[in-house]
Amino acid sequence: MSPISRGFHGRRRTPPGEEGRVPPGQYVTTDFPVLSAGPTPHTPTEKWTFSITQGGDTKKSWTWDEMRALPEENVTTDIHCVTRWSKLDTHWQAVSIDTLLAQVEHQAGYVLAFSDGGYTTNLPVQDVTGGQAWLAYGYDGGPLPPEHGGPARLLVPHLYFWKSAKWVRGLELLDHDQPGFWETYGYNMYGDPWKEQRYAGD
Amino acid sequence: MNPLDGNAIGGLLHEVFGTEMTAAVSTCANCGDTGPVAQTVVYLDAPGTVVRCRTCSDLLMVFTRVHERICVDLGGLAALEVR
Amino acid sequence: MEGTAVRGRLTWQTATVSQLIPETPRTSTIVFDVPEWAGHRAGQHLDIRLTAEDGYRAERSYSIASAPGEPVAITVERLEDGEVSPYLTEELRPGDEIELRGPIGGYFVWDPAADQGPLLLAAGGSGVVPLRSILRDRERTGSTAMARLLYSSRSLADVIYRQELERPVSGLDVVYTLTRSQPPGWRGHSGRVDDALLAEVAWPTGQDPLAFVCGPTSFVEAVAQSLVGLGYPPTRVKTERFGATGVATGGGVR
């Protein structure tokens, strides 16, 4: 049995009145922690593309300019990281994934988001549509900084933030759910913070 | 945050391997670079611990704690020599 | 049994805080009474684990500041927005219990019997902690290895162990560089360690020197690269990188 560290609380400061907004086991931060599993990629927008692929074929691809010409949305949302921090009222400028997927004919049930640097994460199609997911290129009124996933990242705030793949370059359409990077190492295939689905089997 | 090096996971490695491992010599399966585990590039903040080759940045090892277990992937190593 | 020091195994054990020693405005040394401590080597570190009443846990690694044979001690820098360092430097009291495991490390260690070449110790901020363990071990064992400490600090007030480092010690040279502010009349070095300063203080490679470089990642990489540029074989430049803020931290798996 570990001894209790007298007077140690850790960072658990949920602002009064915000308890309902914070999923179980999380604490609220005013920082924006940078969590990384590798070196920060720096893809220039002139070279950047976003693709929807299936079975090795590219069904549709957008250059940076083509993507930026799509309708922009201002998104204000709370985000929840599996490492226990939550950040309230984050502001993003983004294109809805609905807009992108609508341009492709498919019957896929799942996607695997893939990023520069090799990161992947899997999601059900129904969780990246219906106004629940975005391709975000702006944060707090400015361009999304590279350490936070710029030039563009996935934004899927209703799931743990590891699903919001940084440096995202596309979505691979899948018939069956397949584990991405962290899912392969024991993290939950779905990741609902309100049910505390951090690990496989939760 | 800047990445750390293999010294920072000495405790974790000892837990996983049952012995001190920072002085062990690892060989990258991607580029063949060889050196002490203490000199590998370690990312600690993520949902797991990621260890990369200092020369080519490829994954060497990944560790995650899932409830009471530690999940270990050593697939990026061509060799690991405990001296 | 929890805490039993089985040779080769690394187990969490409960230690008691025996003394707290403020060092600089931002750092304090914590001395522990560790009943099952198996001894340590200069340069090693230990892991600390804190548990809150609701079971929440945080772990951090700290270099051991004391020499082998002395009571186990660490020196902690209080980080502005830290989770653990403010607790250790401001809340902890003698008599408090704390979980730790160690000693850890087999690479960034100095063995007085085996390593007799001149020592070059390069410290960036709190990177001086394990190097101080090496210097104390050098003194305790009566080693005749020449030693030079190059210590980069923000200001004179931030120099940890200053009084101790200013004692004249046979065969030891301490060179400071102050990066952010210097006291009036300061005649030492200013600004970050660069190739020129290293060329000045580094032992010539013909003497088979051994270098230990510790501090923030950017400091370590710059110094290590510079030493290799001066002809130091990479195997003779041992490095330990701390987080950008000076202490190896980790929120996830440790």
Domain count, chain A: 1
Q: What is the pLDDT of residues B38-78, one digit of tens each?
A: 999 999 987 999 999 999 999 999 999 998 899 999 999 99
Question: What tokens does C216 get?
Answer: 């923030």
Q: Which residues of B touch A182 (CB under 8 A)?
A: 47-48, 64
pLDDT of residue A13: 63
Q: What is the CATH number of the domain that holds A166?
A: 3.90.420.10
| pTM for this model (two decimals) | 0.93
Is A114 in CB contact (< 8 Å) with chain B?
A: no
Alpha helix positions (H), chain C: 85-86, 128-140, 162-166, 195-201, 217-229
pLDDT of residue C164: 97
Residue among A3, A10, A33 minimizing CB distance to C58: A10
Residue among C50, C251, C252 minimizing CB distance to A5: C50
Is B69 in CB contact (< 8 Å) with chain A?
A: yes
Q: What is the pLDDT of residues B16-46, one digit of tens each?
A: 999 999 999 999 999 999 999 999 999 998 7
Chains that touch A (3 or more CB pairs under 8 A): B, C
- What's the rounded Cα separation, in Å, for the pair A148 and A167? 8
- Respond yes or no on whether the N-terminal peptide bond of residue A145 is cis (omega within 30° of 0): no
Residue C248 has pLDDT above 50, yes or no: no
Do the Cβ atoms of A5 and C87 come within 8 Å? yes
pLDDT of residue B25: 97
User: What Å distances lie between residue A178 and A26, A82, A98, A142, A162, CA to CA?
Assistant: 27, 20, 21, 34, 15
Length in residues, chain C: 254
- What's the rounded Cα separation, in Å, for the pair C41 and C31? 17
Residue among B3, B43, B71 minimizing CB distance to A186: B71
Evaluate whether residue A17 is within a structural domain: no
Do the Cβ atoms of A3 and C14 come within 8 Å? yes
Q: What percent of chain B has pLDDT over 70?
A: 99
Evaluate whether residue A174 is within a structural domain: yes
Give the DSSP H/E element, type plus range, for residue A101: helix A97-101
- Mean pLDDT, chain B, integer: 95
Residue C254 has pLDDT above 70, yes or no: no
Among candidate residues A69, A71, A97, A70, the one with its CA nearest the CA of residue A158: A97
Which strands, in side-by-side order, build the sheet including C45-51? Answer: C57-63, C45-51, C97-104, C13-24, C27-33, C73-77
Is B56 in CB contact (< 8 Å) with chain A?
A: no
- What's the rounded Cα separation, in Å, for the pair C198 and C230? 9
> What is the distance in angstroms between the Cα of C143 and the nearest Cα belonging to chain B?
24
Chains that touch C (3 or more CB pairs under 8 A): A, B
> What is the pairing mode between strands C97-104 and A73-80?
unpaired
Residue among B10, B44, B49 minimizing CB distance to C104: B10
Which residue shows structure tokens 């495991």? C101
Tell which wins on pLDDT, A10 or C102.
C102
At residue B39, the 3 state secondary structure works out as: helix
Domain ranges of chain B: 4-81
Exposed e or buried b for every residue in C163-178, given b needs 16+ CB within 10 A? Answer: eebeeeeeebebbbbb
Question: Could you tell me the domains of chain C?
Answer: 13-104 (2.40.30.10), 119-242 (3.40.50.80)
Evaluate whether residue A44 is within a structural domain: no
> What is the distance in angstroms between the Cα of B48 and the nearest Cα belonging to chain A?
8
- What's the rounded Cα separation, in Å, for the pair C84 and C47? 12
> What is the distance in angstroms between the Cα of A57 and the nearest Cα belonging to chain B?
26
Among candidate residues A11, A18, A197, the one with its CA nearest the CA of residue C52: A11
- What's the rounded Cα separation, in Å, for the pair C140 and C211? 20
| Domain boundaries, position A121 | 24-30+51-195
Hey, which residues 6-45 in chain A have their CB within 8 Å of chain B? 33-39
- What's the rounded Cα separation, in Å, for the pair C176 and C156? 9
B4, B42, B45, B51, best to mutate vs chain A, most A CBs in 10 Å: B45
Do the Cβ atoms of A35 and B46 come within 8 Å? yes
Q: What is the pLDDT of residues C45-75, one digit of tens each?
A: 999 999 998 888 899 999 999 999 999 999 9
Do the Cβ atoms of A8 and C14 come within 8 Å? no
CA dihedral for C100, C103, C106, C107, sign (positive or negative): positive
Q: Which band of pLDDT confidence, cut at 50, 70 and 90, is reported for residue C8?
A: low
Question: What tokens does A170 get?
Answer: 């596309």
Is B53 in CB contact (< 8 Å) with chain A?
A: no
Number of alpha carbons in the 13 Å side-chain half-sphere of residue A126: 3
Kindly report the backbone phi and psi dihedral angles of residue C110, in degrees, each rounded to the nearest multiple of 5, phi listed first.
-115, 130
Do the Cβ atoms of C52 and A5 come within 8 Å? yes
Do the Cβ atoms of C108 and B18 come within 8 Å? no
Least confident of A33-37, A180-184, C210-214: A33-37
Expressed in percent and rounded to 5, the helix, strand and coil fractions of chain C are 20, 35, 45
Q: What is the ipTM of this complex?
A: 0.95
Nearest CA in chain C to B19: C8
pLDDT of residue C253: 34
- What's the rounded Cα separation, in Å, for the pair B51 and C250? 14
Measured at the alpha carbon of residue A175, what is the angle toward residues A170 and A177, in degrees to the nearest 5? 75
Among candidate residues A161, A140, A136, A165, the one with its CA nearest the CA of residue A151: A136
